[in-house]
């Protein structure tokens, strides 16, 4: 029997992505980010979130998408990955939907320029609407998580 999951929908450019609500701690407006030297290009730095230092990643940079100017709609989605909080900069995050897991199909090799290893699958929500589901553990591999943990300490 199909299971329903709650998914937060966010955008990068014209593509819609989803991440399970269970993985999301909070969604924040863009705040000043403190740059950290000698990190991956897509690691924008750290923020102080209610007394906790949280590394912040630009998902556009992570996926090799072109950079875009931040707007009043830009958000930082704080997620838990491998028992660590990480912030993802996204263009918008404004929707929570219930998604039937039967709708999630295996991802093709590349979707919207994003490699399949970062994707859990693609959900067809309607004839015009596809939702690209992220595979959070792959978005950050183990060596990157170790480096981010060192930043947070």
Does the predicted TM-score (pTM) go above 0.85? yes
Rounded average pLDDT over 42-51: 92
Tokens of 74: 């830009």
Task: Give the lowest-confidence range in 24-38, 42-56, 102-116.
Answer: 102-116
Rounded average pLDDT over 89-97: 93
Is residue 138 classed exposed, middle or buried when 0-12, 13-18 and 19+ CB atoms within 10 A define those classes?
middle
Pairing of strands 52-58, 84-90: parallel
Digit-coded pLDDT (tens) for 68-80: 999 999 999 999 9
Using a pLDDT cut of 70, give the percent of the chain over it: 91
Digit-coded pLDDT (tens) for 101-129: 999 998 776 665 566 778 889 998 888 88
User: What pLDDT band is residue 144 in, cutting at 50, 70 and 90?
Assistant: confident
Q: Please, what are the domains in the chain? A: 4-152 (2.40.50.180)
């Amino acid at each position: 029997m199909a299971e329903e999951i709650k998914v937060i929908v966010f955008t990068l450019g014209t593509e819609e992505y989803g991440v399970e609500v269970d993985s999301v701690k909070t969604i924040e407006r863009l705040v000043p980010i403190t740059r950290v030297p000698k990190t991956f290009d897509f690691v924008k730095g750290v923020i102080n979130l209610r007394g906790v230092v949280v590394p912040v990643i630009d998902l556009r940079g992570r996926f090799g998408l072109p950079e875009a100017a931040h707007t009043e709609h830009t958000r930082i989605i704080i997620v838990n990955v491998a028992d660590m909080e990480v912030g993802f900069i996204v263009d918008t995050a404004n929707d929570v939907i219930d998604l039937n897991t039967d709708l999630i199909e295996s991802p093709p090799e590349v979707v919207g320029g994003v490699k399949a290893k970062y994707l859990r699958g693609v959900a067809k929500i309607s004839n015009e609407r596809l939702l690209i589901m992220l595979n959070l553990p792959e978005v950050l591999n183990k060596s990157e998580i170790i480096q981010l943990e060192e930043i947070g300490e």
